[in-house]
Amino acid sequence: MKSRILIVDDEPQIRLLLGEFLSDLYDTEFASNGNEAVKRSLELRPDLILMDVMMPDLDGISAVQKIREHELTRHIPILMVTAVNTTRQRIEAFDFGADDFISKPFDLDELNSRIRSKLNRIRQIQEPVTSEISFANLVLDVRAREVRLDGELLDLGPVEYGILEILLRRPGAVVSRREIMERVWEDGKKNDRLIDAHLSTLRKKVSRWEADLQTVYGEGYRLKARS
């Protein structure tokens, strides 16, 4: 599933620009002022909020404060977007719970890089801390970065290992090519067809595995137990 981002800005053209750029990568939602941002954050529970600072009704820093006060939204990472970039403003925003700043005019690739960084960090925190992940007759040792099938050590490349770990952590769920690229290749700019090639090699190496690495056409990949 795509991560959900709440874009908060009082300028319609900025909302449109960010929506067009980010909609292929994320589920995008919108708010036009701070009060609406607080309300929408409670309704949507987004994975990340892009918050403008200078807005009518309720400014971005005050909105951050209100979002952090609520138990259901205090954990959401908030990236502040501002045309006014002063040390005092940054300190005030960080004091109230902002996670990062990016200044207008911003570079879209840099913005997306910061978004990915925040989302990946949240995923790492949420993923269970365990030394081993088992599925049928296969065991992945997270600390040693080793995979054994029926007790035999497999020779996997780093990309094959990364793909396998992602699917093992979410058995039965469809994981998109985009997510795999963002998590296995940090820059997320590799050709997604390379994933198909690595999956083909991985399937051959785990051919004795009592599980299936399924391709869900148009969506991604899924790990399923063999019936």
DSSP of 102-150 = EESS--HHHHHHHHHHHHHHHHHHHS---SEEEETTEEEETTTTEEEET
What would the two tokens of residue 155 be? 């020779």
Q: What is the pLDDT of residues 156-210, one digit of tens each?
A: 988 899 999 999 988 888 888 877 877 776 544 556 667 888 889 999 999 999 9
Structural domains of the chain sorted by starting position, each given as residue range(s) with its CATH number in brackets: 4-126 (3.40.50.2300), 132-225 (1.10.10.10)
pLDDT above 80 (res 70):
yes
Residue with token string 């701070």: 34
- Locate tokens 């009082």: which residue? 10
Of 47, 43, 81, 42, the residue nearest 61 (C-alpha): 81
Q: What is the DSSP annotation of 174-199?
A: -EEHHHHHHHHSTT--S-THHHHHHH
Q: What are phi and psi of 105, to 5 degrees?
A: -75, 140
For position 8, what pLDDT does the model report?
A: 97
Q: Which two tokens stand for residue 66?
A: 């209100």
* Pairing relationship of beta strands 27-31 and 132-135 according to DSSP bridges: unpaired
Looking at residue 191, its pLDDT comes to 61
Q: What pLDDT band is residue 4 in, cutting at 50, 70 and 90?
A: very high
Q: Does 150 have pLDDT greater than 50? A: yes
89 confidence band (pLDDT: 50, 70, 90): confident
Residue-wise pLDDT for 28-67, tens only, equals 999 999 999 999 999 999 999 999 998 988 999 999 999 9
Query: Residue 146: is its pLDDT beyond 70?
Result: yes
173 compared with 16, residue with greater pLDDT? 16
> 87 versus 47: which is more confidently predicted?
47
* 3-state SS class at 95: helix
pLDDT recorded at residue 196: 83
pTM > 0.75: yes or no: no
Cβ neighbours for 125, distance < 8 A, ≥ 6 positions apart: none
Distances (CA, A) of 13 to 10, 55, 115, 148, 190: 9, 14, 20, 53, 30
Q: What is the mean pLDDT of the chain?
A: 86
Q: Which residue has the tokens 């490349």?
A: 157
